[in-house]
Amino acid sequence: MREVGPKNTILVIYFRHPYVLDKASGLPDAGAIVASFGVSRLPFSLANNLEAIGKKHPDKAGCPKADTLFGLGFGLSY
């Protein structure tokens, strides 16, 4: 992003599994974000910090609400 500037950057992510999208990921600086995950709604929640991944229960599809950036089922519908 340094070369072209954050407003000229589109962050494209293909989610095969959840990622942490915090400041280190570049998410807040991107001009736009395109996320693809193969279905119409988010099949898992996205944590807003790395520590949330360590606290996550392995048998649950999401993180605690306070640690969630986008929740399970987030997305557009028609």
For residue 45, is pLDDT > 80?
yes
Q: Amino acid letter at 6? A: P
DSSP 37-77: -SSSS-SS-EESSHHHHHHS-TTSSS--GGGEEE-TT-S--
Mean confidence (pLDDT) of the chain: 78
Interior CA angle at 61 toward 13 and 53, to 5°?
A: 70
The larger pLDDT score, comparing residue 2 to residue 9, is at: 9
Taking the domains of the chain in order of start, what are their residue ranges? 6-70
Residues 6+ apart with CB under 8 A from 43: 37, 61, 72
- Taking only the tens place, the pLDDT of each residue in 25-44 is 777 777 877 878 777 788 88
Q: Amino acid letter at 17? A: H
